[in-house]
């Protein structure tokens, strides 16, 4: 594995790679932590030593060119998703890229095309598909236990957008981030809505930037219609005072309802009943997992796919899913800007 980025996401991925071998059964392939790239030499070195990388690289180009690297994880800021990922795919590396896949759908489609042409395994790291309770929800929906789906409502609430100490981060700069709460948070809501309910057909949205001078949105709210007939809402904000990382969603079907809260990610409320959902073969029932475990399951899926055991889809998100999420984000922005509903073909 070669990692691009050693910050928050770098730690999450590296930790998952070190965990999956002993916690999810022997994988068919690796993982070997071969190389990590990053600009700051001292931070990169500390990271590489801590997690046991074999070597370091000053830039992503070096990792992409490294013959010892079979798979590249792109954990860089959003504006650095496309170029390194495309280069890696063209170099025949399997590619995992953090979400949102690209700055916009057009760029995302180029990435998908590159990965498809190269015939490499590709994954867009929508890790919440790998929450055990989310997987259980999908199983219930596939089994028809919920009946015909009428509603989806998903809200991703964070509150740090108002924190003056976080004012200068790259996530508030459109050139580096593409979008704000939309790309960062709503993309998760969009992806899970598609994973659970199906394709979105039309969006009608309001978007707001509360802090003057910011070039990205602080919050977005959309009324959405799904191809299957359901309607609902998708919302994301960095101004939900008091909520740190609260991604809630609800589904109403003709035969039942589901509800989920990421801050209580081991619980799935099924027809009003709170059930604890923890994975088999990990700890005994009732012993809860944490946020980081989504990465373990995600990377396990990736490695298994590399080894010819199954595919990324449908439970993992491919670059195609990444393109779709970018398309819906673009549609939400367009809807708000032009004051009209935007259809997604």
Q: Which of residues 159-188 bind a copy of itself (CB under 8 A)?
A: 162
Helix (H) or strand (E) holding 141: helix 132-142
Q: Of 127 and 187, which CB lies nearer to a copy of itself in the complex structure?
A: 127
- Under rule CB under 8 A, which residues in 270-289 are in contact with a copy of itself? 271-276, 283-289
CB of 64 to a copy of itself, least distance (A): 25
Q: How far apart are CA 229 and CA 224, in angstroms?
A: 10
- Under rule CB under 8 A, which residues in 298-337 are in contact with a copy of itself? 335
Looking at the DSSP bridge assignments, the partners of residue 252 are: 151, 257
Q: Does the protein bind a copy of itself through residue 32 (CB under 8 A)?
A: no
Q: How far apart are CA 29 and CA 227, in angstroms?
A: 39
Q: Binding residue for a copy of itself (CB under 8 A) from 27, 30, 198, 256?
A: 256
DSSP conformation class of 98: P
- Under rule CB under 8 A, which residues in 82-101 are in contact with a copy of itself? none
Q: Does the protein bind a copy of itself through residue 7 (CB under 8 A)?
A: no
Q: How far apart are CA 238 and CA 180, in angstroms?
A: 9
Report whether 303 contacts 31 (CB < 8 A): yes
- Under rule CB under 8 A, which residues in 96-155 are in contact with a copy of itself? 147-148, 150-151, 153, 155
By CB under 8 A, which span of 63-71, 173-181, 207-215, 313-321 interacts with a copy of itself?
207-215
CB of 304 to a copy of itself, least distance (A): 17
CB of 58 to a copy of itself, least distance (A): 22
Report whether 184 contacts 247 (CB < 8 A): no
Q: Binding residue for a copy of itself (CB under 8 A) from 93, 122, 157, 194?
A: 157
CB of 89 to a copy of itself, least distance (A): 29
Q: Binding residue for a copy of itself (CB under 8 A) from 29, 292, 315, 344?
A: 292
Residue 107 region, left (φ>0) first, then alpha (ψ -120 to 50), else beta?
Answer: alpha
**Cα-based distances in Å from 280 to 25, 277, 283, 284, 288:** 12, 9, 7, 8, 12
10 Å Cβ neighbour count for 175? 12
10 Å Cβ neighbour count for 108? 27
- Under rule CB under 8 A, which residues in 35-64 are in contact with a copy of itself? 50-52
DSSP conformation class of 25: -
Q: Does the protein bind a copy of itself through residue 27 (CB under 8 A)?
A: no
CB of 21 to a copy of itself, least distance (A): 8
CB of 121 to a copy of itself, least distance (A): 25
CA dihedral 96, 244, 104, 227 (to 10 degrees): 90
Structure tokens at 300: 């396990």
Q: Binding residue for a copy of itself (CB under 8 A) from 176, 206, 214, 344?
A: 206
Residue from 103, 172, 108 nearest 333 by CA: 103
Q: Binding residue for a copy of itself (CB under 8 A) from 45, 173, 291, 344?
A: 291
By CB under 8 A, which span of 74-82, 121-129, 197-205, 313-321 interacts with a copy of itself?
197-205
Radius of gyration of the chain from its Cα atoms, rounded to whole angstroms: 20
| Preceding omega of 228 cis (within 30 degrees of 0) | no
Phi, psi of 332 (to 5 degrees): -65, -45
Helix 105-118 to helix 319-338 angle (10° resolution) is: 170
By CB under 8 A, which span of 109-117, 119-127, 169-177, 199-207 interacts with a copy of itself?
199-207
Count residues contacting a copy of itself (CB under 8 A)? 85
- Under rule CB under 8 A, which residues in 223-242 are in contact with a copy of itself? 223-225, 229-233, 235, 237, 239-242
Q: Binding residue for a copy of itself (CB under 8 A) from 80, 110, 174, 208?
A: 208
């Amino acid at each position: 594995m070669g990692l691009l980025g050693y910050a928050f996401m770098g730690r999450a991925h590296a930790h998952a790679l070190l965990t999956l071998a002993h916690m999810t059964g022997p994988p068919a392939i690796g993982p070997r932590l071969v190389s990590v790239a990053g600009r700051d030499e001292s931070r990169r070195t500390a990271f590489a030593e801590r997690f046991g990388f074999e070597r370091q690289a000053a830039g992503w180009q070096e990792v992409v060119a490294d013959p010892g690297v079979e798979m590249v994880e792109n954990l860089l800021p959003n504006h650095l998703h496309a170029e390194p990922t495309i280069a890696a795919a063209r170099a025949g590396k399997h590619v995992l890229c953090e979400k949102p896949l690209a700055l916009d759908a057009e760029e995302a489609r180029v990435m998908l095309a590159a990965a498809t042409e190269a015939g490499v395994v590709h994954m867009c790291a929508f890790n919440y598909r790998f929450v055990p309770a989310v997987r259980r929800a999908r199983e219930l929906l596939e089994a028809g236990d919920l009946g015909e789906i009428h509603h989806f409502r998903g809200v991703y609430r964070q509150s740090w957008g108002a924190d003056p100490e976080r004012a200068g981060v790259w996530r508030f700069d459109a050139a580096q981030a593409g979008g704000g709460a939309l790309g960062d948070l709503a993309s998760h809501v969009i992806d899970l809505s598609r994973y659970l309910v199906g394709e979105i057909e039309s969006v009608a949205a309001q978007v707001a930037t509360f802090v003057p001078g910011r070039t990205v949105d602080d919050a977005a709210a959309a009324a959405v219609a799904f191809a299957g007939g359901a309607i609902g809402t998708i919302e994301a904000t960095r101004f939900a005072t008091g909520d740190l990382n609260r991604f809630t969603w609800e589904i109403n079907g003709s035969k039942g309802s589901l509800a989920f809260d990421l801050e209580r990610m081991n619980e799935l409320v099924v027809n009003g009943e709170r059930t604890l959902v923890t994975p088999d073969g990990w700890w005994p029932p009732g012993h809860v997992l944490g946020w980081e475990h989504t990465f373990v399951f995600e990377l396990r899926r990736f490695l298994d796919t590399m080894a010819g055991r199954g595919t990324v889809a449908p439970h993992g998100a491919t670059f195609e899913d990444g393109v779709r999420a970018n398309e819906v984000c673009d549609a939400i922005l367009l809807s708000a800007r032009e004051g009209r509903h935007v259809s997604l073909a």
